[in-house]
């Protein structure tokens, strides 16, 4: 239940940040995919079911903010979330640079899946420009790495504080 609430809060934050970003910087949605950042961060936990469900929910939310067919991002993010979680079961991604790489590749895969779906389903589809695919992959990778680093530092800081406090208690 707590996990579900935590995820709901994270998705809500992503929606708010996405809308805020687009309101302030018109190119925001073109440059970065915060919904995918959320999917990647959850999928990096290594549970394929979590990756699948988070990808589905985040992707469908993203679809509301895009034109064209509904469930395009839902499909792509589900696939990426599940695939990444399976990959993480086989790889150890401990460094922030690894997270950047994984999130960047996930973003590129997601955009290729989106383009493939659009090509398959629409008669005269519009496709993203290759340069924007690279920019978006880099930005999404950087955002995922930054969030991971920040959360790791926060966790480490909290652990150190707890340790100091327990040492003080022992001394007393």
Q: Is 119 in the site for other proteins (CB under 8 A)?
A: no
Q: Is 45 in the site for other proteins (CB under 8 A)?
A: no
Q: Is 9 in the site for other proteins (CB under 8 A)?
A: no
Q: Is 98 in the site for other proteins (CB under 8 A)?
A: no
CA distances from 166 to 83, 152, 157, 161, 171 (A): 41, 21, 14, 9, 9
Q: Is 67 in the site for other proteins (CB under 8 A)?
A: yes
Nearest to 74 by CA among 110, 115, 116: 110
Q: Is 69 in the site for other proteins (CB under 8 A)?
A: yes
Q: Is 70 in the site for other proteins (CB under 8 A)?
A: yes
Tokens encoding 145: 């790495």
Q: Is 20 in the site for other proteins (CB under 8 A)?
A: yes
Q: Is 65 in the site for other proteins (CB under 8 A)?
A: yes
> CA–CA separation, 27 vs 78, rounded Å?
25
Minimum distance between the CB of residue 3 and other proteins, rounded to whole angstroms? Answer: 14
Q: Work out which of 6, 9, 45, 66 binds other proteins, going by CB under 8 A.
A: 66
> CA–CA separation, 95 vs 46, rounded Å?
16
Query: Where in 75-94 is the site for other proteins (CB under 8 A)?
Result: 75, 78-79, 82
Considering the complex, state which of residue 129 and residue 172 has its C-beta at the smaller distance from other proteins: 129
> CA–CA separation, 100 vs 143, rounded Å?
8
| 85 contacts 54 by C-beta, under 8 angstroms | no
Considering the complex, state which of residue 13 and residue 166 has its C-beta at the smaller distance from other proteins: 13
| 58 contacts 80 by C-beta, under 8 angstroms | no
């Amino acid at each position: 239940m707590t996990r579900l609430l935590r995820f709901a809060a994270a998705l809500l934050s992503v929606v708010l940040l996405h809308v805020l970003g687009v309101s302030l910087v018109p190119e925001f949605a073109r440059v970065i995919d915060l919904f995918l950042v959320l999917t990647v961060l959850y999928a990096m936990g290594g549970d394929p079911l979590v990756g699948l469900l988070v990808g589905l929910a985040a992707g469908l939310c993203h679809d509301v903010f895009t034109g064209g067919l509904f469930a395009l991002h839902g499909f792509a993010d589900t696939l990426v979330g599940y695939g990444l979680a399976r990959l993480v079961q086989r790889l150890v991604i401990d460094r922030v640079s690894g997270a950047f790489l994984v999130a960047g590749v996930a973003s590129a895969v997601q955009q290729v899946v989106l383009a493939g779906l659009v090509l398959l389903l629409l008669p005269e589809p519009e496709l993203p420009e290759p340069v924007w695919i690279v920019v978006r992959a880099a930005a999404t990778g950087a955002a995922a790495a930054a969030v991971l680093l920040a959360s790791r530092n926060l966790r480490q800081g909290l652990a150190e504080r707890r340790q100091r406090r327990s040492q003080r208690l022992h001394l007393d």
